[in-house]
Amino acid sequence: MSTMEDAQPLVQVTGATVRFRSDTALDGVDFRMFAGEVHSLMGENGAGKSTLIKALTGALALDAGEVRLGGEVVRFATPHDAHLAGISTVYQEIDLLPNLTVAENIALGREPRNRVGAIDWAATRRLAHDALAALGLEIDPASVLGTHPLAVQQLVAIARAISTDVKVLVLDEPTSSLDLDEVAELFRVIRELKARGVAILFVSHFLDQVYEICDRITVLRNGRLVGEYLTTELLRIDLVQKMLGRSAAALAERQAFDAPDDDPSVTLSARGITVLPGIADADVDLVEGEVLGVAGLLGSGRTKLARALTGVDRLEAGIIRIDGRERRLSSPRRALSLGVVYSSENRRTEGLIGELSVLENITLALQAQRGVLRRIRSARQRELAASWVEALDIRPPDLDRPVASLSGGNQQKVLLARLLALSPRVIVLDEPTRGIDVGAKVEIQNLVGELADNGLSVVFISAELEEVLRVGTRVAILQDGRVVDVVPSEGLTTDSLLAMVARSEGDEA
């Protein structure tokens, strides 16, 4: 690392300041990256990480300060300008076109052309094949991107980013949809790019991954620089305290949620539900006042189960009963009318509308439920939205602010506010804490527990087994689209739950 200290930074940000009306998102932040290093940007949601990334990549103009690339001052009017200069970005929310092929997505905007100026499709597929091969992926370049799972789409986005002459690669939560093998493969590629001299900005809330792959860490808090540290010289507990500005001891404690009564009421019961491919012959009971955690490896059917329980995917077999009465959840609207709501793992494409305000996003579903002829009065909309902003501590408490400008944790709270405004009885949450910081994650987890304490039946799906145990009263184990067991969370450890999740069909119990 000493050679890095003696070298000139490849990226140098000085005095970066960005203001949104009366809010200062970045306040005189200095930041640097060296060629051939993996650098982590850490901080709570709202700390300024996304704003700094947007300023670095041309998506946002600085109100003060400057950015240097290779020693030269640069001013990018658009992300495309930054891309041409060698700065490529892969965001947590996949920014690709699912209706196009994998090859078209990888080559989009720079498709090879033949002598008459038409797209050379054979060369386009070769370009895509080479980019995918660099990631060790065997994906048909001619296949439609939207037919692939979210994890594969994430890897395609990374393949697109590295398929150019990249100098700086920004990875914003790149592993949020990847399983352990895919993370290992991604890290192999990151190390190869590092060896080629690429500067890699790795933004993640997985501390284990940060400490495994990153050379250096910069910490932001409340839009200000806390400090820059070598990863090997910063203890994890110290990192968390620097991020939060307070003791991390309270975050280490497992929240004690009230268990349901000894004779609980089953709100929703599913028997033999099947949606192929993905979920087969699954049995689930959702109890009033309980959080049912759902654990399973990537591809086990977690999301398919959520969609089957909430009318998003129509059942091919099986029945669902609500309060003991058989119901046909033929659509999300029908499920909603019965008090069953769903929060997708993909907030961007299946949840929030970034261009609309916080107020509009919160009241959107309620107005849709009432219909166009029963408009909610503007004053009532504002009153309703304000009450949820206060109840969930959504920050900043600006009802007219575009929801896309909020941090990930606050966006998730807006989505929860929209669902809770419908007064549901069952709420199914698919990866509700993905991509949000440790402080906001605990807030969401505690909120989920409070919802159950108030009588809701909550399904909590997460790839992080630790939080499934922390939040869930019981845990449903999924393997290959089947619910193989449902066990009390009390007494389980992360290791014992992992053993249950990963156990193959032929293994002994």
- Tens of pLDDT, residue by residue over 446-469, are 889 989 999 999 999 998 888 999
Identify the residue whose tokens are 């690709």.
96
pLDDT exceeds 50 at position 352: yes
Going by C-alpha positions, the residue among 292, 294, 279, 296 that lies closest to residue 502 is: 296
Q: Do 357 and 431 sit in the same domain of this protein? A: no
- Tens of pLDDT, residue by residue over 294-312, are 998 777 899 999 999 999 9
Q: Do 287 and 362 sit in the same domain of this protein? A: no
- Tens of pLDDT, residue by residue over 37-90, are 999 999 877 788 889 999 999 999 999 999 999 999 999 999 989 988 999 988
Task: Say what the pTM is.
Answer: 0.62
Q: Do 508 and 360 sit in the same domain of this protein? A: no
- Tens of pLDDT, residue by residue over 374-423, are 889 999 999 999 999 998 888 889 999 999 888 888 888 999 999 999 99
Sequence-ordered list of residues with C-beta below 8 angstroms from that of 475, at least 6 positions apart, any chain: 292, 293, 294, 295, 468, 469, 486, 487, 488, 489, 492, 497
Evaluate whether residue 133 is within a structural domain: no
**Burial class of residue 356, CB neighbours in 10 A (0-12, 13-18, 19+):** middle
Evaluate whether residue 142 is within a structural domain: no
- Write out the residue range of the structural domain in which residue 406 sits: 348-423
Q: Do 231 and 303 sit in the same domain of this protein? A: no
Mean predicted lDDT score pLDDT of the chain:
87
Q: Do 28 and 55 sit in the same domain of this protein? A: yes
Evaluate whether residue 145 is within a structural domain: no
CATH number reported for the structural domain that contains residue 209 in this entry: 3.40.50.300
Predicted local distance difference test score (pLDDT) of residue 262: 53
> What phi-psi label fits residue 394: left (phi over 0), alpha (psi between -120 and 50 degrees) or beta?
beta
Q: How many CB atoms lie within 10 A of CB 427?
A: 26
Q: What is the domain count for the chain?
A: 3
Percent of the chain with pLDDT over 90: 53
Token duo for residue 107: 């080559």
Evaluate whether residue 212 is within a structural domain: yes
Predicted local distance difference test score (pLDDT) of residue 302: 92
Evaluate whether residue 125 is within a structural domain: no
Evaluate whether residue 116 is within a structural domain: no
- Whether the ω angle into residue 98 lies within 30 degrees of 0, i.e. cis, is no
Going by C-alpha positions, the residue among 136, 208, 205 that lies closest to residue 171 is: 205
Q: Do 320 and 443 sit in the same domain of this protein? A: yes
Predicted local distance difference test score (pLDDT) of residue 505: 45
Q: Do 242 and 261 sit in the same domain of this protein? A: no
Q: Do 434 and 311 sit in the same domain of this protein? A: yes
Q: What is the mean pLDDT of residues 241-262?
A: 57
Predicted local distance difference test score (pLDDT) of residue 105: 94
Evaluate whether residue 106 is within a structural domain: no
